Amino acid sequence: MTLPVRRFCALLLIVALVPASANDRLLLATAANFKPAMEELAAAFRAQHPDVSIEPVYASTGKLAAQIRKGAPFDLFFAADMQTPQELVQEGLAAAPVRVYARGRLVIWRAAGDAASLALADLADPRFTRIAIANPRHAPYGARAVEALTAAGVWTLVQPRLVYGENIGQTAQFVHSGNAQVGIIALSQAREPELAQRGSYALIDDALHAPLDQGYVVMRRAADRPAAARFTALLATVAARRIIERHGYTVPPAALE
Amino acid sequence: MFSEADWIALRLTLQLAAIVTLLLLVLATPLAWWLARTRSWWSRPVAALVALPLVLPPTVLGFYLLVALGPEGPLGRITEALGLGLLPFTFPGLVVASLIYSLPFVVQPLRAAFEGIDEATLEEAAALGAGALDRFFSVVLPLSRHGIAAGGVLGFVHTIGEFGVVLMIGGSIPGETRVVSVQIYDHVEAFDYAQAHGLSALLLALSFGALLLLYTLNPRLRSV
């Protein structure tokens, strides 16, 4: 081997062998829609507990649950629904109870034009040729959007013009890029600076769909870990509640006690 | 074993792969010929550009396509001005995306085949009075048939297996953009593992069969 090749291999070896931090580590499996709020919660936790390295991992609830079932080393699971963490409790992978940490809201969002005066019934207007919602088969926000459209009496008119985002984030991107004129996304997303700068939203009456309650559980493997208890204690504080609410969720009063 | 939605996705996928493969064979042939024969410095950036989809994450390609083909993107403005409308969430949009995504899989074997043709053979044909086009169709193409077959098969199976780009620009519309790979993904996400298994096994068998055919027809294939 020539010298540069040897040096390169040596470098690769060093990179490969450096341990990736062995401290007290807390891995939080987090539904992707909660990412902005979780980043702030994690930062607040780091400020209080610099000795614990806290790492949120973001993906769809279904993917995270599948990973947990295959032995992924998560300590807490923040799902986008209640059912998935409850199933994990029944399967013995998580320690009861499942607690609500946030309740989501649906909004009609547009990148161009004013959305504030839009109601669900307006989506029947043929000028909206593409309407984006999250895939109702596996994304909770998509399933609730279908319920709301049905309750508003416009489902059959809107359905042929729907495009389906793989998750609620992609749904927002379809509208943000202008490829769909309007979309049904989460309030938490519409509040994000990137979207808030570009578009406007109208809240959808939450009486039109089942509640978008998001529940968390402590995994069985972390049930006795003090670091996990410290994070759930942080969630119960007023400061944490303010962070979650600022990101467009409501926090049911009894949830975090 | 397959639901009606599965069959629709299968038919759509095969249709997409067939159209893309035919178009690619037509488009990639002059490009591969030029790359194989030119001494221009420009062949390097062009070859790098053609090969980009081999190394780029499909999500990068899909993201840029979605932006470029959107109402404010340069390509979207062109398609709207031409009266074609916007391409994302449409079958023609998937064809365009797949052309880009599968291009290197057709160009590389074609280029290798063209490079293998001896300059002397072409000169002899010219001496016998064959014009440039005649030489190409009656000498180059017959001599490159293995490369063309390889490019066609690879382009076809690669388009069938395409997922990331379609996910980004397709919008999962049944019968229009919900291809088999997206259908499998939806099955998995909805915990419908039995359905996912059926379609996945079919794709696996199809891809293996196509590659086996390729290597059986052409055991000396080294270029892919």
Segment A218-246 shows an average pLDDT of 94
Q: What is the pLDDT of residues A217-229, one digit of tens each?
A: 999 999 999 999 9
Task: Work out the pLDDT band at A29, boundaries 50, 70, 90.
Answer: very high
Q: Do B171 and A173 touch (CB under 8 A)?
A: no
A→B contacts (Cβ < 8 Å), by residue, are 60, 62-63, 66, 130, 132, 135, 137-138, 162-166, 170, 173-174, 177-180
CA gap B164, B56 in Å, rounded: 11
- Best B64, B69, B191 residue to mutate vs chain A (most A CBs within 10 Å): B191
Segment A98-126 shows an average pLDDT of 92
Q: Do B172 and A163 touch (CB under 8 A)?
A: yes
3-state class (DSSP) for residue A218:
strand
Å between B178 CA and nearest CA of chain A:
10
Task: Work out the pLDDT band at A79, boundaries 50, 70, 90.
Answer: very high
Which of chain A's residues have a Cβ under 8 Å away from the Cβ of B72?
Answer: 177-178
What domains does chain A contain, in order, with CATH numbers? Answer: 25-103+211-256 (3.40.190.10), 106-203 (3.40.190.10)
pLDDT of residue A240: 96
* CA-based torsion, A81, A86, A89, A91: positive or negative: negative
The b-or-e profile of A48-87 (16+ CB within 10 A means b, else e) is ebeebebebebebbbbbbbbbeeebebbbbbbbbbebbbb
Direct distance between the N- and C-terminal alpha carbons of chain A, in angstroms, rounded to an integer: 64
- Cα–Cα separations (whole angstroms), residue B32 to B38, B43, B97, B130, B149: 10, 10, 20, 21, 14
What domains does chain B contain, in order, with CATH numbers? Answer: 4-223 (1.10.3720.10)
- How many Å is the Cα radius of gyration of chain A? 21
CA gap B186, B208 in Å, rounded: 23
Q: Do B89 and A60 touch (CB under 8 A)?
A: no
Q: Do A166 and B172 touch (CB under 8 A)?
A: yes
pLDDT of residue A18: 61
Residues facing residue A57 across a β-bridge: A29
Q: Does position A21 have pLDDT exceeding 90, yes or no?
A: no
Q: Do A135 and B171 touch (CB under 8 A)?
A: no
- Of B70, B167, B191, Cβ closest to residue A177: B70
Q: Do B88 and A162 touch (CB under 8 A)?
A: no
pLDDT of residue B214: 87
Q: Do B173 and A163 touch (CB under 8 A)?
A: yes
B164 CB within 8 Å of a chain A CB: no
Per-residue pLDDT of chain B (224 residues), as tens digits, is 789 999 999 999 999 999 999 999 999 999 999 999 999 999 999 999 999 999 999 989 999 999 999 988 999 999 999 988 899 999 999 999 999 999 999 999 999 999 999 888 888 888 888 888 889 898 999 999 989 999 999 999 999 999 999 988 998 898 899 999 999 988 887 778 889 999 999 999 999 999 998 888 776 655 44
- Of A60, A166, A178, Cβ closest to residue B72: A178
Å between B184 CA and nearest CA of chain A:
12
**Residue B188, Cβ neighbours under 10 Å: how many?**
18
Q: What is the pLDDT of residues A86-99, one digit of tens each?
A: 999 999 999 989 99
- Higher pLDDT: A135 or B220? It is A135
Which of chain A's residues have a Cβ under 8 Å away from the Cβ of B169?
Answer: 179
Task: Work out the pLDDT band at A112, boundaries 50, 70, 90.
Answer: confident
Å between B180 CA and nearest CA of chain A:
15
Q: Percent of chain A having pLDDT more than 70?
A: 93
3-state class (DSSP) for residue A55:
strand
Direct distance between the N- and C-terminal alpha carbons of chain B, in angstroms, rounded to an integer: 35
pLDDT of residue B220: 64
Nearest CA in chain B to A176: B67
Q: Percent of chain A having pLDDT more than 90?
A: 71
Q: Does position A135 have pLDDT exceeding 60, yes or no?
A: yes
pLDDT of residue A252: 81
Q: Do A135 and B86 touch (CB under 8 A)?
A: no
CA gap A56, A6 in Å, rounded: 37
Nearest CA in chain A to B87: A179
Strand arrangement of the beta sheet that strand A76-78 belongs to: A52-59, A24-31, A76-78, A212-219, A94-104
Q: Does position A20 have pLDDT exceeding 90, yes or no?
A: no
CB-count burial class (<10 Å; 0-12, 13-18, 19+) for B25? middle
Å between A182 CA and nearest CA of chain B:
13
- Residue B139 and residue B122 in contact, taking contact as beta carbons nearer than 8 Å: yes
